[in-house]
Amino acid sequence: MTKILLALIVSFYAPMAWAFTIATGPSDGSYFQIAQDIKNVAGKEGIDLQVMPTKGSLENLELLGSGKVDLAIVQLDALRFISDVIKQQAGLDLFDKIKVVLNLYPEEIHILTNKKDLQTFYNLEGKRVSVGPPGGGTAVTAAVLFTVYDIKATVSEEPFEEAVKKMEQGSLDAVIFVGGAPVPFIGKLGGKFSFVRLPSNPVLEQIYLRTSLGKQLYGWAGADTETYAVPAAMMGLDKRDEKYVTQVQQLVLTILNNREFLEAKGHPKWKSSIIRTYFPYRGYEPTNQMIQIFNMLDKQGYKVIKK
């Protein structure tokens, strides 16, 4: 068994240089910053990661499914929904074609308002709520929330900055945004805004993680407000040719080996990363194996390093 493991590890470090392109999100969002952090550590191993800003999850999966990018960062709750949309629009069945290469971190659901009477999600019944541009992961998550809580709201779709201006002008009541806290542009908001609480719901807890938002993340916030978070993941196509497998495994191993550096120097979400977890069925088998080997060796006190 030891010889097999060593042979696998040696193969990961066969001398080669390559480039990946990863679809992210808006250039001022968490996805883009997380990808930039990965680009920085990957470059030290000769991996050239090209970071592409996009509008969000729908565009990311379209780019990935059409082969225009190698990797994409996507919310897990968006995959099934978006795959069905793309299948209807373009005839592509992406659900079995796309796999989770690496779990990244949980993304908090931010629901913001400047109205004091909007305390919980149930208070949004009949209100005007922005869910972000069409095709983004936030719009998908918002649709799930409205269905699960059985809330009927007047929904609009605009960028976050425009939605905030409309709230200030009185033409919107709340805005929903899903992103890894602290989100820089939310952190810049003043104390005239507050978070709306998401009540506990057993259906959501099958998908999402229970968490809270407060002063520790956003200095202007008041008391902690309960919400949920959805895992974000780096996804790729289920390709099995030897060169591609080796390249993707080395990228994942590089991220695993640099976790402490990323936590210290990268986006704050690295401190709550879930990169050592994997999905037995939705995960990409070669990187699942890589993560399993890494976890097993790490538990025994060993670390895989390049010489």
pLDDT at residue 6, rounded to an integer: 39
For the stretch 46-98, pLDDT in tens is 899 999 999 887 788 889 988 999 999 988 887 766 555 555 555 555 667 88
Using the CB atoms, write b or e for 246-271: b if 16+ within 10 Å.
Answer: bbbbbbbbbbbbbbeebeeebbebbe
pLDDT tens string 101-143: 999 998 899 999 999 999 999 999 999 999 998 867 898 899 8
Same fold, 2-106+232-299 and 110-231: yes
Q: Please give the pLDDT value at position 206.
A: 73
Contact call for residues 204 and 160 (beta carbons, < 8 A): no
Percent of the chain with pLDDT over 90: 58
pLDDT for position 2? 40
Nearest-angstrom CA–CA distance, 154 and 266: 38
Class of domain 110-231: alpha beta
The reported pLDDT for the residue numbered 204 is 85
39 alpha carbon, distance to own chain's centre: 16
For the segment 259-302, what is each residue's pLDDT rounded down to a tens digit?
Answer: 999 999 999 889 989 999 988 878 999 999 999 999 999 888 87
pLDDT at 13: 46
- Closest listed residue to residue 304, CA positions, set 119, 45, 63: 45
The answer, yes or no, to whether residue 158 has pLDDT greater than 60, is: yes
pLDDT at 279 (0 to 100): 82
Residue predicted with more confidence, 305 or 126: 126
Tell me the domain boundaries of the chain: 2-106+232-299, 110-231
Question: Which of 141-150's residues contact partners 24+ apart within 8 Å by CB, and which partners?
Answer: 141/75, 141/77, 141/78, 141/109, 141/176, 141/178, 141/230, 142/176, 143/81, 144/77, 144/204, 144/207, 145/109, 145/121, 145/176, 145/198, 145/204, 148/201, 148/203, 148/204, 149/121, 149/122, 149/199, 149/201
- The CATH topology of domain 2-106+232-299 is D-Maltodextrin-Binding Protein; domain 2 (3.40.190)
Comparing CA positions, the residue from 256, 234, 248 lying closest to residue 47 is 248
Give the integer Cα–Cα distance in Å for 284 and 70: 13
pLDDT band at 306 (very low <50, low <70, confident <90, very high): low
pLDDT at residue 92 in the model: 53
21 pLDDT band, cuts 50/70/90, is: very high
What is the rounded average pLDDT of the residues 11-23?
Answer: 68
Least confident of 28-37, 153-162, 198-207: 198-207
Mean pLDDT of the chain: 87
Which of 32-36, 190-194, 200-204, 303-307 is predicted most confidently? 32-36
CB count within 10 Å of CB 28 equals 13
The count of other CB atoms within 10 Å of the CB of residue 134 is 11
